[in-house]
Chain A
Amino acid sequence: MNINVPFDKEEVKKLKAGDYVYLTGTIYSARDAAHKRMYETMLEGGQAPFNLKDNVIYYLGPTPAKKGQVIGSAGPTTSSRMDKYTPLILENGLNGMIGKGKRSKEVIDAIVKNKAVYFAAVGGAGALLSKCIKESEVIAYDDLGTEAIRKMRVEDFPVIVVIDSEGNNLYETAIEEYKNKK
C-alpha cells in the first residue's frame, strides 16, 4: 500500500496492524534529546519547532552524510525511550511515529484516544533505508548533532503498521499467528 505523508485522521483509520506501507512525502526526525526539549518547551506553554498536526515523526539519529550523500545510515531507534514524551506530543496533533520496538500502555492508550498510528521500520537496515530519503535539512536543535530535528522528503519508505488507531498490536498478534500456523 502506498500513502502520502502527512495524512489526516481518515487515512489513519484505514491503516491496520500488519499492513505493509510505503510512505512518500515529508517526515521529521526526532529522538531522545529532541523529544525531551520539545516536551519541556510544550510544558512551559511553548510550541514544538514544527507544526505537529497530521505529521509523522521518525525516531532517527543518522550517521553524518558524506559529500554527495543526502544522509548517512538512517534506520530507526528504539521507540520506548520516547514513551514518556509521546502522549503529550500526540495530543498536539501528531498522527504517526516510525521506530522499532514495544510501546508502553500509556502510549498505546494515547494512540487510540488521539487516533494515531505507530509504524516500525526494519531495525538495523540503516543503509537500505537511507536510499529512500531524498532530501534532508536540519530545521531545529542544530546543537544536538545527530539528535537534531530534520525535515526529510522520503519516497517509498517501507514501514509496517504495528499499532493501529484501534490499539491492535502486531508485536503480540504476529507471534501468536506464527505459532498457531505451525
Chain B
Amino acid sequence: MRTIHTDEIIKNVSEMCISANLYLAEDMDKKIRQAACEEDGKLGKQILNQLIENMEIAAEDKIPICQDTGMAVLFVNVGQELHIEGMSITDAINEGVRRGYSEGYLRKSVVKDPLIRENTKDNTPAIIHYDIVPGDKLEITIAPKGFGSENMSKVYMLKPSDGEEGVKAAVLQAVKEAGPNACPPMVVGVGLGGDFELAAKLAKKALTREAGSSNEKEHIARIEKEILEMVNSTGIGPGGLGGKTTALAVNIETYATHIAGMPLAVNMCCHVNRHIKRVL
C-alpha cells in the first residue's frame, strides 16, 4: 500500500491556490484569445482585448487575475489503496488553503456564518468534494470560485416531459438573467440528472472540464454545441455590452435519474474559470 504524508498535501494545495489565481488555465487562455479575434461587437472586442492584457499583467507582475480570488472548491479523488499519514485530510487541505491564500496575497472572502458574516480571515473552510476511486493515487482539482457568477446559478427541477427543449430553454434563461453580472464571456456548467444536490455538484464539476472539450455521450455533446450557439446569439457579449462572445463554453455532465424527474443545475462561471489539477 502506498503512503502519502499530509505535509505533501498541504504544500501542493497551497501552491495550487496561488497558481490558479495568477495564471489562467491554458484552455481558457486559448478560448479568450480566439474569441478576441472573432468578436465583431465594438465594445465587446475592446473588452476581450483588455482581458488578454489583464492576463498578461497578472502573470508578469504576479497579481491575481481577478480580485475575487474565490472560495476554494476542491474535487478530491482518493485512491482506495492509498494510505494517508499525518493529520486528517480535510485539515490538511484547509491548512493548504490557509497558507496559499496568505502567502499568495489572495483575498480572504469567506465568512464564518451566513447571517453573522464575520470574515474567517484565512479563506477557510474550503468546499471539498471527495470521491473514493480505484488505485493508489490522490488526485486534487482546485477551482477557486468567484461569487459574482456563482450568485447567478440556478437549480430547476424539470419534468421528464420537458425533454431536451426544456433543458435548452432553462439554460438560456439562466444565461439571460445572469447577463453582465456574471462577467461574460462566461463558462456555463450544467449538471443534468441525479437528484437535487447531485445536479448542482455535477454542474460545478462540469466547469472544471476543459473549455472546448465535449461530453463523451454523443447526444449530450450535440446539445452542448447547440446551447453554446443559442447563448452566443443572444447578443449579450463581453461585459454584457453587445457581441457574439457571451459564453466561451457550455459543459454538461450527466448522471442517471429517477423515472419521475429531470433535475437540472446551471452553475455560472465567468471568464476567470480557474481550475488546476495535480495527481499525487
A175 contact from B50, B61, B236, Cβ within 8 A: B236
Choose one: A64, A128, A179; the contact of B53 (CB below 8 Å): A128
Does B193 reach chain A (CB closer than 8 Å)?
Answer: no
A174 to B183, CA, bound (A): 16
Interface string of B111-125 (1 = CB under 8 A from A): 000000101010000
Residue total for B at the interface (Cβ-Cβ under 8 A): 46
B195: Cβ under 8 A from any A Cβ: no
- Asked if A177 CB lies within 8 Å of chain B CBs, one says yes
Task: Specify the chain A residue showing the minimal Cβ separation from B104.
Answer: A63
* B57 contact from A69, A131, A177, Cβ within 8 A: A131
Q: A62-B107, A145-B121, A146-B109 are in contact. Are A174 and B63 (CB under 8 A)?
A: no
Interface presence of A152 (CB below 8 A): no
A167 at the interface (CB under 8 A from B): no
A175 and B235 CA atoms in complex are apart in Å by: 5
Size of A's binding interface in residues, CB under 8 A:
43
Q: Quick check: is B263 within 8 A (CB to CB) of the other chain?
A: no
What residue in chain A is nearest B68 (Cβ atoms)?
A77
Known: A77-B148, A122-B47. A72 touches B67 (CB 8 A): yes
A77 to B234, CA, bound (A): 23
23 contacts between A and B (CB under 8 A): A20-B43, A61-B68, A62-B67, A63-B67, A63-B69, A63-B107, A64-B106, A66-B105, A69-B63, A72-B63, A73-B63, A77-B68, A80-B181, A100-B148, A102-B180, A122-B239, A124-B271, A126-B58, A145-B119, A175-B235, A175-B236, A178-B41, A178-B242
Residues of A that sit less than 8 Å from B by CB: 20, 33, 60-66, 69, 72-75, 77-78, 80, 100-102, 120, 122-128, 130-131, 144-146, 158, 160, 170-171, 174-179
